[in-house]
Structure formats: C-alpha cells, structure tokens
C-alpha cells in the first residue's frame, strides 16, 4: 500500500516540477507580428483613416479651384412711358463676370488643405499604432489565459491524485475520513477553477480573432510570454516627446491653425469682379461693348473678427502643443518605471519565487507520503504553488502589456515630405 501511495504522489510531483508549458505545437504558429499584420489590414480604424486621407486630398483639390464665372443679363428702358413704352427703346446686355481673387486667397486655402492632409496622413499612423497596442494586449492575454488554463488543469489533476491518496490512507486506517473529505473539497474547487479558466481562455482567443478579423486555427507563440530582458542598472536617458506620434499630431494641429490665420488675413482683401458684355440697343438696332468692374466695400464686415478668431485658435493650438509635450514626457517617465517594475516582478515571480514554491510543494509531498507532514501542510503547499504560478503568469503578462504601452507612447512619427 505504501508503494501505491508513493507511486501516486510521485506522479503528481513529476507533473508539477516546472511551470506549466505547452508542448511544441504541431500546427503552424500565429506569431504576434503576423497577427499585427492581419489586424492592420482589417481594422475599421485603418479604413477610417484611409477614408480620411482620401477626403483630405479631395479637399485640397477643391481648395485649388478658381471661382466659377457668373453669366449676367439685364434689360433696361422697358415698360416705361413715352418713347420707353413697351420694348421699343430696350437695351439688352448679356455678359460674363469673372471673379478675381486678391490677397493670395487661393494659395492660403491650399495651405490649409495641405496642412489638413498632413494631419490626416498622421492620423493613419496614429490609428495603426493604436491597433498595434490593442492587438498586442489581446495576444498577450490569449497566451496568459491559455497558461492559466493549463495551470488549473494541472492543479485539478494534482487534487484528484491527492483525493485518491487520501482515500487509500482512510481505507488503511491511517487517516480520518475528514482528510478524505477535505481532499474532495479541494478537487471540486479545482474542477470549478478549470471551468472558469477554460471560459476565459476561449473568450480571450475569440476577442483576438475578432480584432484581427479572422478565426484563429493556428497555435500562438507561447514562448513570447517568457521573453523578459535581464536587469539593467545603467542610467536612463531623459524622456523626450520629440519625434513621437502624439507630439507630431499636436504639431500638425498647430500647422493647421497657422494656415487658418494666413487664410483669414487673405480674406480681408476684397476681390474684383470683371465682366465683359455686349449691349443691344433696340431703338437703333446697334450693339456696343460693355465692361463692368465691381469690388465689395468692407463696411460692415472687414474680416477683422475672423482674423482675431483664427489668431485665438492658433494660440490655443500652440498652448495645447506645449501641454501635450509635458504630458507625453510625464507619461513616458511613468511607463518606463512601470516597465522596469513589471520586469522585476516577472523575473522574481517566474524565477526565485516559483522555484521556492515548487521546492516547498515537493518537500510537502514527500513528507506527506512518509507521514511527516499532515494533509493541511500538503494542501497549503499545493495552493501556494498554484497561486505562485498564476502570479508568475500575471506578472509576465503585465510586463508585456506595460512594454506595449511604452512602445505606443514612444512610437515615432512617419518621416518624409508631406504633400
């Protein structure tokens, strides 16, 4: 009987010697980069950004168009009295008026449209970075959920082995029925934990599949979760918002505001309307050329208010840019600290802490088998090991999520000349 009990506990010990890992997958592996590539092409945010660029290009085309000419026609000296009765003395004029923009209005409009196009192209890069962060988080959570499920199944198997061992001890008269009852409660709780972990794993995988826009039939890169860099003790460079996507977006907003000021100032200059026409005199049946020139008088609206409004918007954009720079530098500082702390927690939880918990569980199993430790000691050691495994998984996931957030904050703005 002792040999049977020893064999059962030895099998349980072998099953928990190391952190739960999946076997090398026989089917293809969907790497994180592959998931990011698929998601980037299918993301609604990407489609919206592409449509925004198309709209901005169309707006630039519209901004560069000249005003349309206006067809004009008038009849004078009709339906009067005396010689002007009826249409006998009518003078019919037909012509075309050509608006001539002054003050550089067309160039200013194109400048605003170009700035808006640059902002739309930058927004596409922002959307891509956001999609990358979202997919990375979901990918990490899917791996972590799968590992939690494996750990839960392993603990359920250990609980079942412990129940069988307790049953043997009770039947042999070496333990009270209470010991078997406690082992059965532990087995029931472990089975319920497996069900919860399985649902969470399925949900995490489904969320990732929805984000990338297709079902996931391949295995995931489970080894990604264990990639934690070694400790670094060198000084870190001061955080800088320069070159980041967020600051580039603020710069683009400021550029749009600058262009708006130039357009408002250009709109203060009145435009000319020049119109050649032909006039027919009904009384003599003669024709004559007519040239009309008109210019609006800026009496009630001289566009000063528009310039003031545009200048205020520019000041607001400039202040918002400075606020953004400060916020980004603070966020980068906090994110770096979070990544460093998460790395320490991940290395500790998956290294010394896990090793200590595994060793404690091993000793408890041996002691329980040899009658040196009670069942409560064994259950406590197994529970500590399970908690440490889950904590290690959570710490590794937290590190990768923190690193993804830092990469999003420091994502560089696209380089190159903007149209």
Instruction: Report the half-sphere exposure of 218 (CA within 13 A, side-chain side).
Output: 13
Q: In the block, which residue shows the tokens 């607001």?
A: 316
**What's the Cα-to-Cα distance from 34 to each of 24, 44, 135, 202, rounded to whole Å?**
19, 18, 11, 20
Domain chopping of the chain, boundaries:
2-64+105-268+305-409, 67-100+269-302
> What is the C-alpha separation between 148 and 205, in angstroms, rounded?
13
Joined together, the tokens standing for residue 96 give 């075309």
- Residue 13 has a pLDDT of 46
Just give the CATH number of 67-100+269-302.
Answer: 2.20.200
Query: Mean pLDDT across the chain, nearest whole number?
Result: 85
Predicted pLDDT at 108: 95
Contact between residue 74 and residue 91 where contact means Cβ atoms under 8 Å apart: no
**CATH 3.30.565.10 correct for 2-64+105-268+305-409:** no
* 399 vs 327: CA distance, rounded Å: 22
Q: What is the pTM of this model?
A: 0.79
CA distances from 345 to 360, 366, 390 (A): 20, 30, 13
Q: What does the alpha-carbon distance between residue 246 and residue 228 come to, in Å, rounded to a whole number?
A: 27
In the chain, which stretches have pLDDT less than 70? 1-27, 175, 231-238, 368, 370, 375-376, 416-419
pLDDT at 193: 92
């Amino acid at each position: 009987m002792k040999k049977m009990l020893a064999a059962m506990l030895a099998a349980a010990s072998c099953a928990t010697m190391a952190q739960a890992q999946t076997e090398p997958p026989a089917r293809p592996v969907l790497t994180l980069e592959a998931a990011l590539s698929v998601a980037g092409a299918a993301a609604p945010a990407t489609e919206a950004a592409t449509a925004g660029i198309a709209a901005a290009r169309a707006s630039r085309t519209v901004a560069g168009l000249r005003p349309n000419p206006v067809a004009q026609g008038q009849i004078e000296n009709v339906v009067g009295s005396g010689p002007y009765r009826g249409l006998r003395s009518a003078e019919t004029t037909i012509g075309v008026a050509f608006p001539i923009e002054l003050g550089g209005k067309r160039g200013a409009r194109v400048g605003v449209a170009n700035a808006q196009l640059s902002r739309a192209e930058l927004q596409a890069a922002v959307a891509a970075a956001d999609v990358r962060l979202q997919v990375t988080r979901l990918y990490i959570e899917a791996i972590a959920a799968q590992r939690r499920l494996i750990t839960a199944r392993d603990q359920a198997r250990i609980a079942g082995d412990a129940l069988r061992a307790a049953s043997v001890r009770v039947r042999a008269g070496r333990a009270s029925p209470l010991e078997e009852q406690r082992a059965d409660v532990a087995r029931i709780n472990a089975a319920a934990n497996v069900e919860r972990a399985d649902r969470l794993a399925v949900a995490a995988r489904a969320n990732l599949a929805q984000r990338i826009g297709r079902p996931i039939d391949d295995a995931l890169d489970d080894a990604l979760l264990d990639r934690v860099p070694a400790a670094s003790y060198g000084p870190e460079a001061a955080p800088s918002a320069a070159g980041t996507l967020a600051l580039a977006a603020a710069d683009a907003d400021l550029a749009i505001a600058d262009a708006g000021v130039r357009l408002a100032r250009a709109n203060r200059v009145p435009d000319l309307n020049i119109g050649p026409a032909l006039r027919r005199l009904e009384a003599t049946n003669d024709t004559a050329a007519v040239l009309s020139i008109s210019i609006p008088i800026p009496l009630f609206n001289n566009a000063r208010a528009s310039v003031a409004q545009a200048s205020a918007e520019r000041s607001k954009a400039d202040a918002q840019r400075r606020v953004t720079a400060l916020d980004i530098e603070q966020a980068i500082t906090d994110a770096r600290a979070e990544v460093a702390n998460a790395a320490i927690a991940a290395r500790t939880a998956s290294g010394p802490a896990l090793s200590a918990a595994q060793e404690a569980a091993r000793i408890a199993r041996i002691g329980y088998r040899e009658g040196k430790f009670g069942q409560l000691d064994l259950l406590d050691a197994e529970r500590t090991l399970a908690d440490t495994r889950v904590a290690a998984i959570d710490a590794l996931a937290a590190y990768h999520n923190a690193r993804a957030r830092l990469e999003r904050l420091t994502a560089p703005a696209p380089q190159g000349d903007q149209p």
